[in-house]
């Protein structure tokens, strides 16, 4: 419905030169030629050349003929053209718009307008292409032939194919927890510099394992044209912490994600899910089928859900989605939840995710904003409260999230249906949503997903757009891989969340005596309970004691920097797996936070660090996702960066030539600091920057941190005035957060 179809065949045609395959994130130059049709284009009529919301292609500019993305337009008959670019000048998802208006003159049939994207004639490098793979990256052409601002879409618009570049890193994926003798899968891939799985590896790799793994070869080849190598039906005969390393000749290229093989019959398994993302049929890229295939075959997920905006899912696409979810859902192999994103305005409750346990259930839409078919208008649920009423009798799971708009759970929540909140996605990290839930007395679990728009479900890099973070993952602790079992895990808050890594995490709460472990949240009605001395992640426990012994175990594939044991938002224990005596000459400068809760939450941290009386050695960036904005060393004593955060953190990890000499100056628009190097220690020096948790932190680390596995039991004092929500937030050196869902200890 977004664009007129009137006389489309008479509106002209468009061609692109060159066409074919182009490497993601590379520079290229394209000549798009529009040839006017029967009606031509009248005086003040115009063209729009639009690309998708999710595209992070370079923004055309018209003033610097030697700069990135220089773009020109000219008419064959000499008509004067006005050329502008705007990110929001057309109807979503085709909202990124190059606008070309005929302001003096007109076009008749056969006249042309030639647009040179990345015009290189005066020395410009070209147009920086989008950073993610897409077989049909389209330059959609719209024509306002009659100067009415009613645009007709050409029947055919030109496309190019964006493909991955060569690999710069490798990943090996194992399940996190399986039992002795239980079959599992090992997946391996190379990723290009923007995170796309690469099909141009062409190498033979060897494998080293600390335990015997049945059906795992000693070596394998990832052939040219193949994106992944996968080995199924692997088993281990003895309990162990399985460590697998992959080598290219004698060079270690990656270590597999942690995998615990537990004794047969002991405990539940851990299943990794990305429960939130979109495809090109709504506001994402690549088809829904391609999204499902990527999640299963290239991200090696156990479970997923397609979550298109409800106001953009047509009835035809909803039927297609349900056919796809039924096709891809295979118990024990790969679970797909049918679902959608309820995308209500923030004032009416904000974004929620709806996951059904069966196909062919209705969409209770927040609106019909982009759906022309009104035959199901009577089932709309315009507010979050209306949504919960509509879903009361459905077999569904709901969680709140922060996207372009955010969930206001103070304006609507039903704990019977909405058991969890998503506090991390490509949009950023949003601990304030957890704080909102706790302040309202809700007992929720913590999820993280991608909300990905770039077709990389389960391995979602933000690229060069305003998405500020790598996509999150949720680990569901369940008995088996079925919709019912995973939904039970979500309803009981048996899950933990990460900002992208696959870590093993286990938490337990130990009670001396008299604890009541509830079957369900007693706030939601009558429930049963059992006397016990042990509670798991997500449990609600009634207890009158003064303290609880909180036990946790974390095993990650990157060194552990810090583990915070929290009660609500208060940090009760801040544990670093090294002492003050182990610190070296390595420091970290971290900036984090967001402007505010809404769409304009991005915080710009462009700035510098300068050393006086010392030198920087081997600086490395942390969470610098946009490769167009690298960390730069300017001489031995100065670092410069361009960076933004949207709730999460970025920063610099750097060794100092002297661990004690000189002073460090930080200069950003929000924070300026001058710190003697000798004062930088184990406890972070924190400089506040306003907004939502905006700050700069500076602290010291060991020169080499080898701690990837940490286990402890700590005492947590209990409050009597409010619920106790006890959980951990761990930070790994590669920039990842790991959150457990809370154990809720209440006054019964």
Helices of type H across 283-441: 288-297, 315-328, 384-390, 431-439
Q: Are residues 300 and 353 in the same domain?
A: yes
Give a yes or no: residue 2 inside a domain.
Answer: no
Q: Is residue 1 part of a domain?
A: no
CB-CB contact of 609 with 666 (8 Å) = yes
Tell me, yes or no, whether 241 and 344 share the same domain.
no
The alpha-helical segments, DSSP class H, found in 422-500 are: 431-439, 483-491
- Whether 281 and 419 share a structural domain: yes
Q: Which of 500, 518, 535 is the last residue of a domain?
A: 500
Q: What is the CATH number of the domain that holds 258?
A: 2.60.40.3450
Q: What are the φ and ψ backbone dihedral angles of 663, each rounded to 5 degrees?
A: -135, 155
What is the spatial distance between Cα 728 and Cα 649, in angstroms, rounded to a whole number? 18
The verdict on whether omega for the bond into residue 506 sits within 30 degrees of 0, i.e. cis, is: no
587 shares its domain with 730? no
Residue 677 located in a structural domain: yes
Same domain, 596 and 550: no
Please classify residue 497 by burial: count the beta carbons closer than 10 Å to its beta carbon, then call 0-12 exposed, 13-18 middle and 19+ buried.
buried
Record the tokens describing residue 42, joined without a space: 């009248």
- Report phi then psi at 290, rounded to 5: -65, -35
Q: Identify the CA nearest to 104 among candidates 42, 41, 43.
A: 43
- Domain shared by 464 and 573, yes or no: no
b/e per residue 311-348 (b: at least 16 CB within 10 A): bbbbeebbebbbebbeebbeeeebbbbbbbbbbbebeb
Q: Answer with the one of 237, 267, 297 that is the final residue of a domain.
A: 267
Same domain, 286 and 263: no
User: Residue 114 is inside which H or E element, if any?
Assistant: strand 112-117
Alpha-carbon gap, residue 432 to 443, rounded angstroms:
15
Structure tokens given for 335: 């679970």
CATH of the domain at 737: 2.60.40.10
Q: What is the pLDDT of residue 144?
A: 97
- Please tell me the distance from the alpha carbon of residue 238 to that of residue 626, in angstroms, as a whole number: 43
Taking the C-alpha atoms of residue 740 and residue 90, their distance in angstroms, rounded to an integer, is 41
Residue 78: give the domain boundaries: 8-163
Count of positions (residues) in the chain: 748
What is the spatial distance between Cα 114 and Cα 642, in angstroms, rounded to a whole number?
35
Q: Give which of 507, 526, 509, 510 is closest to 518, Cα–Cα.
A: 526
Residue 672's SS3 state is strand
- CATH number for 79: 2.60.40.1510
SS3 content of the chain, % helix, strand, coil (to 5): 10, 45, 45
Residue 468 belongs to domain with CATH number:
3.20.20.140
Asked if residue 532 and residue 394 are part of one domain, the reply reads no
Shared domain check, 303 and 428? yes
- The stretches in the chain having pLDDT less than 70 are 1
Cα separation, 346 vs 121, in Å, equals 47
Within a domain: 440: yes
Question: From CA 125, how far away is CA 138, in angstroms rounded?
Answer: 21
Cα angle, residue 254 at apex, residues 252 and 257 outer, rounded to 5° = 140
102 and 157 together in one domain: yes
Q: Are residues 253 and 121 in the same domain?
A: no
Of 500, 523, 542, the residue at which a domain comes to its end is 500
- The residues facing 81 across adjacent strands are 102
- Domains identified in the chain, total number: 5
Q: 286-295 burial by CB neighbour count: b if 16+ within 10 A, else e?
A: bbbebbbbbb
Tokens for 142, please give them.
């719209």
Tell me how crowded residue 59 is: count the other CB atoms within 10 A of its CB.
Answer: 15
Q: Quote the percentage of the chain above a pLDDT of 90.
A: 96
CA distance 229 to 199: 11
Tell whether 407 is covered by a domain: yes
Residue 431's alpha-carbon distances to 421, 648, 739, in angstroms, are 10, 9, 10
In a domain, 112, yes or no: yes
CB 738 within 8 A of CB 732: yes
CA distance to 401, 519, 531, per residue, from 415 (Å)? 15, 14, 24
pTM: 0.96
Evaluate whether residue 3 is within a structural domain.
no
* Same-domain pairing of 110 and 223: no
CA distances to 248, 639, 666, 699 from 636, rounded to whole Å, are 34, 8, 16, 20
The answer as to whether 453 is a domain residue is yes
Beta-carbon contacts of residue 647 (< 8 Å; ≥ 6 apart): 427, 428, 429, 430, 431, 468, 469, 592, 593, 594, 601, 692, 693
């Amino acid at each position: 419905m977004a664009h007129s179809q009137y006389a489309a065949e008479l509106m002209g045609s468009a061609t692109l030169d060159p066409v074919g395959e182009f490497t993601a994130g590379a520079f290229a130059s394209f000549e798009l030629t529009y040839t006017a049709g029967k009606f031509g284009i009248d005086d003040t009529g115009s063209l729009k050349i639009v690309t998708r919301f999710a595209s992070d292609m370079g923004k055309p500019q018209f003033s610097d003929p030697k700069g990135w993305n220089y773009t020109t337009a000219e008419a064959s008959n000499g008509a004067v053209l006005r050329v502008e670019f705007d990110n929001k000048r057309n109807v979503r998802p085709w909202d990124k718009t190059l606008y070309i208006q005929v302001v003096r003159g007109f076009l008749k049939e056969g006249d042309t307008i030639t647009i040179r994207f990345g015009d290189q004639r005066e020395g410009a490098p070209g147009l920086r292409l989008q950073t993610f793979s897409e077989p049909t990256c389209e330059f959609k052409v719209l024509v306002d032939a009659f100067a009415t601002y009613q645009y007709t879409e050409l029947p055919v618009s030109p496309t190019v194919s964006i493909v991955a570049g060569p690999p710069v890193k490798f990943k090996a994926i194992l399940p996190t927890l399986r039992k002795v003798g239980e079959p599992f899968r090992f997946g391996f891939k190379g990723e290009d510099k923007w995170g796309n799985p690469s099909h141009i590896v062409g190498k033979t790799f060897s494998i080293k394992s600390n335990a015997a793994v049945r059906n795992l070869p000693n070596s394998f080849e990832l052939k040219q044209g193949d994106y992944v190598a996968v080995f199924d039906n692997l088993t281990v005969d003895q309990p162990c912490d399985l460590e697998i390393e992959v080598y290219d000749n004698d060079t270690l290229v990656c270590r597999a994600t942690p995998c615990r093989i537990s004794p047969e019959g002991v405990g539940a398994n851990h299943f990794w899910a990305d429960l939130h993302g979109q495809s090109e049929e709504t506001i994402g890229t690549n088809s829904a089928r391609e999204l499902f295939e990527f999640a299963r075959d290239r991200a090696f997920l156990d479970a997923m859900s397609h979550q298109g905006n409800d106001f953009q899912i047509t009835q035809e696409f909803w039927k297609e989605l349900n056919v796809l979810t039924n096709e891809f859902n295979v118990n024990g192999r790969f679970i797909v939840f049918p679902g959608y994103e309820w995308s209500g305005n923030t004032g009416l409750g904000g974004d929620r995710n709806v996951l059904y346990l069966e196909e062919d259930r209705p969409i209770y839409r927040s609106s019909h904003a982009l759906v022309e078919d009104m035959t199901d208008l009577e089932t709309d649920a315009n507010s979050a409260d209306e949504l919960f009423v509509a879903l009361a009798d459905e077999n569904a799971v709901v969680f709140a999230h922060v996207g372009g708009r955010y969930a206001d759970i103070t304006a609507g929540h039903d704990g019977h249906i909405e058991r969890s909140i998503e506090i991390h996605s490509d949009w950023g990290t949003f601990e304030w949503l957890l704080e909102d839930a706790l302040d309202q007395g809700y007992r929720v679990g913590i999820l993280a997903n991608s909300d990905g728009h770039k077709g990389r479900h389960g391995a979602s890099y933000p690229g060069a757009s305003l998405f500020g973070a790598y996509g999150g993952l949720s680990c569901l602790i369940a008995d088996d891989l079925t919709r019912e079992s995973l939904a039970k895990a979500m309803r009981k808050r048996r899950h933990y969340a990460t900002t992208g890594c696959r870590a093993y995490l286990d938490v337990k709460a130990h009670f001396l005596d008299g604890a009541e472990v509830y079957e369900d949240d007693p706030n939601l009605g009558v429930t049963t309970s059992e006397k016990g001395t042990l509670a798991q992640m997500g449990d609600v426990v009634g207890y009158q004691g003064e303290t609880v012994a909180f036990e946790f175990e974390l095993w990650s594939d990157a060194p552990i920097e810090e583990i915070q044991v929290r009660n609500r938002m208060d940090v009760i224990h801040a544990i670093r797996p090294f002492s003050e005596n182990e610190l070296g000459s390595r420091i970290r400068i971290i900036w984090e936070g967001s402007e505010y809760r809404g769409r304009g939450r991005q915080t710009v941290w462009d700035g510098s660090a300068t050393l006086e009386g010392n030198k920087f050695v081997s600086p490395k960036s942390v969470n610098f996702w946009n490769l167009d904005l690298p960390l730069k060393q300017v001489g031995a004593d100065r670092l410069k960066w361009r960076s933004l955060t949207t709730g999460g953190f970025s920063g610099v990890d750097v060794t100092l030539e002297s661990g004690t000499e000189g002073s460090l100056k930080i200069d950003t628009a929000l924070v300026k600091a001058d710190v003697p190097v000798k004062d930088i220690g184990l406890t972070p020096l924190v400089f506040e920057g306003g907004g939502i948790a905006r700050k700069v932190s500076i602290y010291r680390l060991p020169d080499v941190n080898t701690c990837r596995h940490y286990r402890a039991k700590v005492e947590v004092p209990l409050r009597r005035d409010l619920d106790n929500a006890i959980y951990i937030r761990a930070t790994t050196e590669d920039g990842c957060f790991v959150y457990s869902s809370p154990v809720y200890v209440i006054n019964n």
